[in-house]
A and B are shown apart, each in its own frame.
Chain A
Amino acid sequence: MSTQVFSHKTFNQSLKKYYSFYTGGFIAFVIALAIAEQMGMSRAWIGYWFLFATIGLYAGIGIMSRTAEVAEYYVAGRRVPAFFNGMATGADWMSAASFIGMAGTLFLSGYDGLAWVMGWTGGYCLVALFLAPYLRKFGQFTIPDFLAERYGGNIVRSIGIVAAITCSFVYVVAQIYGVGLITSRFTGLEFGIGVFVGLGGILVCSMLGGMKAVTWTQVAQYIILIIAYMTPVVWLGIKHTGIPVPQFAYGYTLQKIGDLEKKITADPKEQEVRKIFADRAAAASAKLKDLPKAYEADKAATEKRLADLKARNAAPDEMKAAADALERFPKSADQAKAGYAREAALAARAAPPRPHAEPFPGKDEAARNTARLNFIGIVFCMMFGTAALPHILMRYYTTPSVQQARVSVFWSLFFIFLLYFTAPCLAVLAKYDMFTNLVGSSFASLPAWAAAWAKVDPTLLNITDINRDGIVQWAEVVIGGDLIVLATPEIAGLPYVVSGLVAAGGLAAALSTADGLLLTIANALSHDLYYKIIDPHASTTKRVTISKVLLLVVAIIAAYVTSLKPGDILFLVGAAFSLAASAFFPPLVLGVFWKRANKWGAIIGMIVGLGICAYYMYTRYPFFGVNMPLWYGLSPVSAGMFGLPAGLLTIVIVSMLTSPPPREVQELVEHVRYPLIRGDTVVSEAR
């Protein structure tokens, strides 16, 4: 015992030393690039340096941690100290959507966007109180492992495998998409090539060393992503609040935003622009109602204009413009419909700015109450989904003890908290900057960052002089959420090297999450499906090799699906959480806290939970085209709000109707409830 204590301590200390050196080295690297930029290094080269140096670094850690031992490969040898497991979980958890998208969502939807922030942090309370210590005591390799041991039989394991793969796969596609986006934007490589460069980094790491390599890489990635997120915020904070920790002082900036919103709502020039949008939208809606006729009338008007110009022998360029307009004019009423619908959607831009700090704005009390219900629905599903996502729960198998697992959840949430409580601050500071520096500036001299980004990507920033007065009105600006984090360094007036740093941070966030997810999928297939169901006599080398091959196959399939650019990423991510919450949360928690829960309860409960959740999404999400009316106005992302209680109730009812689980299962439940029972005969931990 004493030698083990000693080795854990020295291991922990040497880890602290390595990662301190590493952090110092990374900061030195950024400073060196900053000096190189001053001496004239081009932007493309700064992008390449960040991309290849960081991916090379992750690959290096992967190669150093290569292993073919089962316990090392699946659970990093159960030696990861709580503090470092917390950092690794932080990186595993925070995806491209958190890093790049979160601040943008908050920028666009104000208070209502905070549902995501609360949901994605508060879920860790459930992980700590209900799951992490008990799973650690159980001590196997995967989540289906627990379900199978607790409820017995391959049916439960199979449902677990299907659910684990479904939600992880949906989620990993979103990550690989993020990788492709960042590499292509900051290095000028093509999207497809960007995907494969990033994928190379992921694979070297997770294929060679499994969980062991992924863990140590994720710690390195966390350090990069948090430095990258904080640097521009500190700068922007000094600029607008005068202190380097704006998180504590932006309340006053928020008040100023409230005043500016009122000013924008009352400003006659702003009203003029909004009126133009309202009129255009109204005209288009009228045409949509009266379709074939309105289309014919428009077409005739376009033809007539060309004929008139010809008749009075107008200037050639004027005639050419009219001819082009006729050429581009939709060929049929059906084609024209899409264009009219786009115009009609401008109604959204005719609304005054949404008050940033006001919860659940709406036109009447009913609309406000629906908004509140949807806020609570998102919080609920994200929290319970957090406590059910296999790639996160798996991390708590890797600590040395039950107590370390508990402490490790604390560090996990602490490291996640650092980023999540900064994101709302960044959104407010960016909005204030735009209200004061962009609104009211003249089109001839836009702020440099605005001019640059509007040119690069009109989906991220689009500014058009609608009322032709030469001055920017807020209603004339369209912002894509991802702009906020990507452009903050330039908004804050920082050198390009900080933009490169932010890109490296976003890449670290996407790669680390993709790593964890791919590993979860490959483990579900190799460990749960192949070893536990198909060939229980497989040698350890064979199991690890199969896992590595499967990892490659899954990665390639995921990359292929990503290259098809499937629709709404945020919906996919939300859907993964709702599905996980409905399928896993009830059987996992009841498995520990209710001895009476039995096999058939779990089987039917999981199917009912998953089924109701999937049914609600399928029949309500517009993508599938069924569009049945919503229940209580709850959006399909929050389908887990119905799926989870239904699953829970089903497990209870079916378990009560069937016979209690056998004696050894009840002993297993008692076994996982205590960190150590002297004289315990049940052994569940796999080595």
Chain B
Amino acid sequence: MELSAKHHEYWRKNLVITAILLFIWFVFTFVEAWYARELNAITFFGFPLAFWFSAQGSLAIYVAIIGIYAYLMGKLDKEYNVDEGDLE
């Protein structure tokens, strides 16, 4: 089995998508927790901001990260002709 240049390009794009989403994940997890005391000075819909993130915001962002990943990768599969067809 020989991989074509297009295959390598697909894998590079996959790595870029993965890295960007992972960076967002990192910011809303560890950076948020590290600065929690400072963030809590801000109020958001009645919540101290760090509390809101840890209890709701970051969680919703996690769901979104996975949704975006599945959407982008599905599109990328089709674009590079490595998809498996519509197995719903």
Taking Cβ atoms with an 8 Å cutoff, the residues of A that contact B are: 1, 4-5, 8-9, 12, 81, 111, 114-115, 117-118, 121-122, 124-126, 128-130, 133, 247-252, 254-255, 357-360, 368, 372, 375-376, 379-380, 383, 400-404, 406-407, 409-410, 413-414, 417, 420-421, 424-425, 667, 670-671, 673-682
| Residues on B facing A (Cβ under 8 Å) | 1, 3, 7, 10-11, 14, 18, 21-22, 25, 29-30, 33-34, 36-37, 40, 43-48, 50-52, 54-56, 58-60, 62-63, 65-67, 69-70, 73-74, 77, 81-88
Q: How far is the CB of B24 from chain A (nearest CB, A)?
A: 9
Chain B residues in 8 Å Cβ range of A406: 66, 69-70, 73-74
A120 to B3, CA, bound (A): 38
Given A117-B55, A409-B66, A410-B63, check contact A676 B84 (CB 8 Å): yes
Contacts of A679 in B (CB 8 A): 1
- Contacting pair B73 A403 (CB below 8 A): yes
Decide: A407 near B70, CB < 8 A? Known: A379-B29, A379-B30: yes
CB-CB nearest 7 A-B residue pairs: A251-B46, A251-B47, A359-B36, A114-B54, A406-B70, A424-B55, A252-B46
Q: Which chain B residues border A414 with CB–CB below 8 Å? A: 63
Contact B36 A360 (CB under 8 A): yes
Contact A403–B83 (Cβ < 8 Å): yes
Q: Are A12 and B58 in contact (CB under 8 A)?
A: no
Chain A residues with CB under 8 A of B73:
133, 403, 406
CB distance from A672 to the nearest CB of B (A): 11
A14 to chain B, nearest CB (A): 13
A124 to B65, CA, bound (A): 10
B82: which of A248, A407, A410, A675 is its contact (CB, 8 Å)?
Answer: A675
Residues B87 and A4 in contact, CB atoms below 8 Å apart: yes
Count of A-B residue pairs with CB < 8 Å:
171
CA distance A64 to B88 in the complex (A): 24
Whether B62 lies near A124 (C-beta < 8 A) is: yes
B1 surroundings in chain A (CB, below 8 A): 667, 670-671, 677, 679-682
* A129-B51 in contact (CB<8A): no
Q: Flag if A9 contacts B62 (CB, 8 Å).
A: no
Complex contact A111–B77 (CB within 8 A): no
Task: List A contacts of B67 (CB < 8 A).
Answer: 410
**Closest beta carbon of chain B to A546's beta carbon, Å:** 32
> Closest residue of chain A to B2, judged by CB?
A679
A425 partner residues in chain B, CB cutoff 8 A: 55
How long is the Cα–Cα vector from A379 to B26 in the complex, in angstroms? 11
When distances are taken between beta carbons in the complex, the residues of chain A under 8 Å from B86 are: 5
Complex contacts, A681 vs chain B, CB 8 Å: 1
- Point out which of A12, A125, A425 has the most chain B C-beta atoms below 10 A from its C-beta: A125
Contacts of B88 in A (CB 8 A): 5, 8-9, 12, 81, 400, 404
Determine the chain B residues whose CB is within 8 A of the CB of A358 once the complex forms.
37, 40
Most chain A Cβ neighbours within 10 Å, of B73, B82, B88: B88
Cross-chain contact A118 with B59 (CB below 8 angstroms): yes
15 A-B pairs (CB sep. < 8 Å): A4-B87, A8-B87, A114-B55, A125-B66, A133-B73, A251-B46, A252-B46, A357-B40, A360-B36, A360-B37, A376-B33, A409-B70, A417-B62, A674-B82, A676-B84
